[in-house]
Structure 1
Amino acid sequence: MRRRERHGALAAALLLVAQTAVAQAEVGAKRAMSIAPYASTSATYSDNVLLTDADRRGDLMLAVTAGLRITGEGSRIKGYLNYGLTGQTYADGAKASTFQNSLNTFGNIEAIDNLAFVDFNGSISRQAVSAFGVQTDGGIPNSNQSEVSTFRLSPYLRGQLGGSANYEARYAWTATRTGTDAASDAKVADALVKLNGRVPSGRLAWSVEASRQSVDFTTGRSTESDRLTGTLSYPISNQLVVSATGGRDSNNYTNAGKESHSVLGAGINWSPAPTTTLSVNASNQSFGHGHSISFEHRTPRTVWRFTDSNGVSTAPGQLISTTIGSVYDLYFSQFASIEPDPIKRALLVNNFLQTNGISPSAPVIAGYLTSAVSLLRRQDASFALLGVRDTLTFLASRSNSRRLDTLTGAADDLVSSSVIVQQGFSVSYAHRLTPQTAFNAIASAQHTTGSDSQPDTHLRTLSLNVTTRVGSQSTATFGARRSVFDSPTVPYNESAVTGSLTVQF
């Protein structure tokens, strides 16, 4: 009985926290579009604003942000956009004034009923340029950061052939601008045609897929990859499906001309319950062994996630396409049982994180920018425990990367270090002091290891924050942090206090 009461209290608390976001989403659905502008101002005093022990300077950083949140819930257009422009200045002029953009957007357009569609998504954020330069938790901008923007547009056709097979023909265009001469911009074009169906009067499913990808780095060389594969899938039970894949792959990643390789693989998908899924796929690739593992389990109070992948990375930002370890995505998965609609759920998650003083985008490992096709092994584990007044979040991540395109002349960290390993963790505890006020503590660490002559670095950060609602549309946050960065070349330690006020209109 007590367990049922705790679960009922938890559900009531979550629904209370999300009430504002859900109400906004419902209004947006009726009006087809919801527009919510917001503004914030903050002041941060740092005793080492230059983030260097060689020239310690204390200064007050003032920041003002103007933003716009748009939610579309029309019959043909569904989308979400959150954009903010931040201006930063320093009271004693220790640094030059700057402007920063931030963007998170995604959506879908149904151009022709049940036939033609367009997916789109985009992001703008500051990312580390070098894995071995100065690293921060994102509080103070530094010279080892750049504003990176990525936009993707993907029109496609989807339908049925004679009632016995399904088809999809898709084209995707992705553009990334790194905003720095130290790394290359890139354009990626993907074309894909896929057919799938079932054997008549049988349980065996089949699919055939043909794809082509071209990657153009502005300071490097262009690469191409062609792939043709066929897959057979068989459901051993309603919960377990096994599959086998075979085909050919042709690319010029390691040669001036294309080389062809066979592709053989196998996989399993296990879903013993709607809240538990396990997917394992492994195959031989032109670069060697490739695999992807994904596990997720949800209970009324917890969500557990783990991923492990090894494959080709074509994005200039090593972590651009990998978000499994972010706090936002962890709670986005957890709230699936409360709100299945992704647009409304995005509002729900943002409202929940803001109310509890939890940063949605705090990175576990900062990553770095690359200028050529690379091989990336990435592992992420995350856990969240949701109570009526307490929330505990744990994130851990590890990446191992090396350059795959050895013919290019473009320079990045993988030239000076043949292998780069980054690993880190973050633990966050949030406690609701009152319905309007929350306390949040975050401890994080990141370790970067290189080969050859590159030095190891180690970043440790502890931050404490109190967030409270000031009226129905305003939120105030007060916090303190301590950071220590160990490096043979650019070490620093920093203490800072900050305060901010956010108003939603």
Structure 2
Amino acid sequence: MTTTMAKRWRTSRPAALPLAAPVAVLALLMSPQCRADWSITPSVDLRGTYSDNVKLEADQLARGQFITDLAPSLSIANHGPRLKLTAAFTTHLYAYSNQRLDGTNSSQRQLAANARARLVEDLLFFDATAAIAQQAISAFGPQVANNGYAGTNRAEVSTWRLSPYLAHRFGSTATAELRYARDSVKSGNAGLGDSIGNTVSTSISSGAAFRTIGWGLQASHQNLDSTRGGKSTADAASARLSWRVSESLRLNANGGYDKYDYKALEGATAGPSYSIGLAWAPSLRTQVQASAGKRYFGDSYAFEATHRSRHSVWSINYNDAVTTTRGQFLQPVAVDTAALLNGLFSATISDPVARQQAVDAYIRSNALPATQIQNTNAFSNRYFLQKQFRASAAFNTARTVTLFSLNATKRNALSIRQAAIGLPGNSRSELNDNTKQASAAVSLNYKMSQRSGATLMVSKTRTESLTTGQRDDQLLLNLGMTRQLQQKLKGAIELRRARGNALTLGGRTYRENALTASLSYQL
């Protein structure tokens, strides 16, 4: 059962950013320009679920229970001219009909916060992000879904990033930026450990005065200190030239140098880079960018294309990069449900604030996940080369909204294996360090009437170890129905079926069938 009580109001009292923020940001919040733009929504959810395999174990070990989930939450938003902020925090408290089993959760937290502040006009700015979420430890075994009570193969990962920066436009000649960023990743997992990163970056690029020939320079230096991986640094510098062939076509050339100090399995950890590419924008609704070149690890390619029509949004993306598990947690690459819907609703809602509110309301009313299915960012202390392809599409009609997403990821370890006590695969020869993953998902929402709707979500994931040959398949099916019973009262029911390879008993099959009933009441 889900009960939601929400209260929204405009307040003239200032509030502080989530987590710690500089005094300058607090002063901004006190300014008259920001005072009238706050929106605060407290709520509490109560949900009842019966699961016939609460621990997501192999079939012969499955045990069922009824779980009650009490989830108070708080959402804060500001859309003022100098501050953009969204933050949502939820705590889930679980109670079980029988004694709680080892490997299940008594509680969990969720946080998603983003802030961008303009402190001094055309000079000083500040960005901040923070997140808390359940993440899968291994790419093999049960994955994180709408089953927060299950503790198998997951850990709570918390991240934050604070970034003050200077940015200035020198008339129509150039735009320059100098940025400092400090970030943190904590997992509560002894094998992955905790880490702190400090990055300094600078860039300068040509302005409108350089209409035909454009240019740009950028450089960055990062220091990383990890309790498991030790200390490391990464440096990058590049230069760019571009030539506008026509109003819709621009050719690009890039050259630079990358340097890492990880202990490599083989080959170099530094070297020059170069690429050539193009940017094509035949219309305001269609954009294509592509490049090909070489980096110290070999050939490198990038491609991005987006297209938007009145009733559809399309996106295709491919890239390769040297990265880490912690780096992926700080820069998630999942297909964002809100971003898809935002593009879809832009044809009918031009105001960005009103459109964002409509997107949030649609996600809440139809119980859609924050992201579409994504490949697992398995815990590892190694640097790896990641090649990733993503495609997504969204369609709407008078009664339906349909979302599609495809993901394919290949990871190959570049650095030697660090101490990995507590990490999956430690006793199974680098199970998670050299992998291929592919996933597909579809979500269909059907508006049966003005007061009723139904949502069907299906996702399939396949993971293969390039080292051991082990293969893992996961299938998730969700069917839900909602009905507005009264003006402020909504009822819903959801049926979920999950099937995949369990971590126990040699990866034998597990199955879960779960039924959830809910009531939502809003003040």
Shorter chain as denominator, the TM-score bin is 0.7 to 0.9
1:277 maps to 2:291: no
Note the C-alpha offset of 1:91: 0.9
Task: Structure 1: state its 5+ residue gaps.
Answer: 1-20
Match of 1:494 in 2: 512
Is the contact made by 1:357 and 1:438 (CA closer than 8 Å) also made in structure 2?
Answer: no
Give 1:455's match in structure 2, choosing from 450, 470, 474.
470
Q: In the alignment, which residue of structure 2 is the partner of 1:126?
A: 134
Shift of the 81–216 alpha-carbon distance from structure 1 to 2, 3 Å rule, reads same
2:357 is paired with a residue whose SS is helix
Note closer, same or farther for the CA distance 1:173–1:314 as it changes in structure 2 (3 Å cut): farther
Aligned-residue offset at 1:216: 2.4
Aligned residue in 2 for 1:333: 343
> Which whole-Å CA distance do the structure 2 matches of 1:391 and 1:24 have between them?
30
Aligned to 2:361: 351
- Counting only pairs closer than 5 Å after superposition, residues 408-423 of structure 1 correspond to structure 2 as 408-410=418-420, 412=423, 416-417=430-431, 418-423=433-438
Distance 1:201 1:457, change over 3 A: closer
> Does the aligned pair in 2 maintain the 1:305–1:381 contact within 8 Å?
yes
CA distance in 2, matches of 1:230, 1:485: 47
2:45 equivalent to 1:40: yes
Q: Residue 350 of structure 1 aligns to a residue in which SS?
A: helix
Paired residue type of 1:128: A
TM, length-normalised to structure 1:
0.88
Opposite residue 331 of structure 1, the aligned amino acid is L
Instruction: Say if 2:303 and 2:317, in contact at 8 Å, map to a contact too.
Output: yes
What is the CA deviation profile of residues 356-398 of structure 1, one whole-angstrom value per residue up to 9, with x for unaligned ones? Answer: 3432334333432222322211111111111111111111111
Counterparts of 1:425 and 1:275, CA distance in 2: 25
Q: 1:142 to 1:431 in 2, by over 3 A?
A: same
State the identity %. Answer: 24
- Mapped pair 1:438 → 2:448: no
Q: Which amino acid aligns with 1:64?
A: L
CA deviations on 1:120-158 (whole Å, 9 max, x unpaired) are 112211110011233353325222111111111111101
Query: Is the Cα–Cα contact under 8 Å of residues 186 and 315 in structure 1 kept in the other structure?
Result: no
Given the alignment of the two structures, is residue 90 of structure 1 paired with residue 96 of structure 2, yes or no? yes
The equivalent residue for 2:17 is: none
Measured in 2, the distance between the counterparts of 1:47 and 1:374 equals 38
Aligned mates of 1:138, 1:201 — CA distance in 2: 51
Any conservation in 1 of the 2:159–2:183 contact (CA below 8 Å)? yes
SS in 2 for 1:138: coil
Give the corresponding residue for 1:78. 84
Matches within 5 A, 1:69-468: 69-95=75-101, 98-139=106-147, 140-161=149-170, 164-197=173-206, 203-254=212-263, 260-316=270-326, 318=328, 321-339=331-349, 344-406=354-416, 408-410=418-420, 412=423, 416-417=430-431, 418-453=433-468, 455-468=470-483
**Structure 1 residues 24 and 309, CA gap change in structure 2 (3 angstroms):** farther
CA contact (8 A) 2:335 2:372 kept: no
Instruction: Return 433-442 or 30-39, whichever deviates more.
Output: 30-39
Deviates more, 1:192-201 or 1:422-431: 192-201
CA contact (8 A) 1:137 1:363 kept: no
Quote the RMSD (CA, aligned, Å).
Answer: 2.9
* Further displaced range: 81-90 or 410-419: 410-419
SS of the residue corresponding to residue 416 of structure 1 reads coil
Shift of 1:290: 2.6
For residues 234 and 142 of structure 1, what CA distance do their matches in structure 2 show? Answer: 54
Whichever residue aligns with residue 430 of structure 2, its letter is: S
SS of residue matched to 2:378: coil
Distance in 2, Cα, partners of 1:102 & 1:344: 25
8 Å CA contact 2:381–2:417 kept in 1: the answer is: no
| Alignment partners' CA distance in 2, 1:463 and 1:378 | 26
How far residue 329 of structure 1 moved from its aligned partner, in angstroms, is 2.5
Q: Which sits farther off after the overlay, 327-336 or 295-304?
A: 327-336
Q: Which moved more, 1:390-399 or 1:252-261?
A: 252-261
CA deviations 1:392-420 (Å, max 9, x no partner) are 11111111112222263446457623511
Number of aligned residues: 484
Deviation at 1:282, TM superposition (A): 3.1
Conservation of the 8 A alpha-carbon contact between 2:318 and 2:390: yes
5+ residue gaps in structure 2? 1-5, 13-32
Structure 2 partner of 1:7: none
On the 8 A contact 2:191/2:420 being kept in 1, the answer is: no
User: Is the Cα contact below 8 Å between 2:194 and 2:228 reproduced in 1?
Assistant: yes
- Which moved further from structure 2: 241-250 or 355-364? 355-364
- Cα separation, 1, equivalents of 2:175 and 2:374: 40
